[in-house]
């Protein structure tokens, strides 16, 4: 996971470097075609003054890409922190609960065995065994859930790498492409948070799934309180993520609009 996240961050920084290379090569080619390669310094000065609008546009595009990259990093810190906090709470909560419940059952093990010798409670020992075995499976079921959650997160990161490679091979100096870069960064962070929240939602069903494997095992009611707490925090995180993404998307759109109007004025 960390290796793929590092690759995604490198692709974001490569876009800015590639944009600078493309802009410098285009500017150099246009300057050579207009005044020649061995032009005097005053000719270069006159050319730069006449094409000041293109220079401003190039620096504006670089600033927009840098702002989108930093904005993506900020959203990454906020959204992923909230998503991982909820996921880690569910993950460690279910494992700590398993340890506590198994310790309680082990303390009452002799009592359950003694009660099973009396006819009114002859099923006490079998019920104790089924619940103890069901609790022992909580860790296995939890790790199975984490395996598929990690698969979802890895798939999203792989798709992000494909998208960034596509953006790097496109028209990197167009405002539309720069806007797509910002939206891609926001989308990748949201998909990561979505995977974490889905993982927190799935882990709440671990007690129920473990009870399916052992007849008479611990029912899902043992995790209902934790599950309701997780769902409340998930809804709160979803609202926070929506507000952050909405403000970030509006900011990215405001960065792109000036370039579009400038291009339209140039066309006119």
Of 187, 189, 191, 200, residue with least CA distance to 233: 200
Q: Which long-range contacts (CB under 8 A, 24 or more apart) does 243-249 make?
A: 244/75, 244/78, 244/79, 245/75, 245/79, 245/186, 245/190, 248/71, 248/75, 248/182, 248/186, 249/183, 249/186
Look-up of token digits 């998503």:
83
| CA-based radius of gyration for the chain | 29
Specify the DSSP class assigned to residue 174.
Answer: S
> Where in the chain are the domains?
2-267
> Which residues touch 177 (CB under 8 Å, ≥6 apart)?
167, 170, 171
Per-residue pLDDT of the chain (268 residues; tens, 9 = 90+): 777 777 877 877 777 777 777 766 767 666 656 666 676 666 666 666 666 777 787 788 778 777 777 777 777 778 778 878 888 888 888 899 889 999 999 999 988 888 888 888 888 888 888 889 988 999 999 999 988 988 888 888 888 888 888 777 777 777 777 777 777 777 777 788 888 888 888 888 888 888 888 876 665 455 555 455 555 555 555 555 455 445 544 554 454 444 444 443 444 3
Report the sign of the C-alpha dihedral through residues 200, 206, 207, 212, in that order: positive
């Amino acid at each position: 996971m960390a290796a793929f996240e590092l690759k995604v961050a490198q692709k974001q920084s490569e876009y800015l470097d590639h944009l600078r290379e493309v802009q410098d090569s285009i500017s150099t080619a246009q300057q050579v075609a207009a005044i020649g390669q061995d032009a005097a310094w005053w000719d270069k000065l006159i050319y730069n003054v006449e094409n000041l609008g293109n220079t401003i546009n190039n620096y504006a595009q670089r600033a927009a890409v840098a702002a989108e990259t930093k904005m993506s990093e900020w959203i990454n810190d906020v959204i992923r922190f909230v998503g991982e906090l909820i996921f880690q709470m569910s993950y460690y909560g279910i494992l700590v609960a398993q340890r506590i419940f198994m310790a309680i059952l082990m303390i009452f093990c002799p009592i359950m065995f003694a009660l099973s010798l009396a006819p009114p409670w002859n099923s006490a020992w079998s019920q104790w065994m089924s619940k103890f075995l069901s609790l022992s499976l909580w860790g296995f079921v939890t790790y199975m859930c984490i395996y598929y959650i990690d698969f979802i997160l890895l798939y999203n990161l792989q798709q992000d790498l494909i998208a960034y490679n596509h953006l790097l091979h496109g028209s990197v100096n167009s405002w539309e492409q720069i806007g797509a870069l910002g939206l891609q960064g926001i989308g990748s962070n949201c998909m990561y948070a979505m995977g974490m929240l889905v993982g927190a939602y799935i882990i709440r069903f671990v007690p129920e799934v473990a009870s399916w494997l052992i007849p008479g095992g611990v029912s899902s009611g043992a995790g209902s309180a934790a599950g309701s707490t997780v769902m409340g925090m998930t809804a709160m995180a979803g609202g926070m993520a929506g507000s952050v993404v909405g403000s970030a998307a509006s900011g990215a759109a405001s960065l792109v609009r000036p370039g579009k109007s400038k291009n339209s004025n140039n066309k006119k």
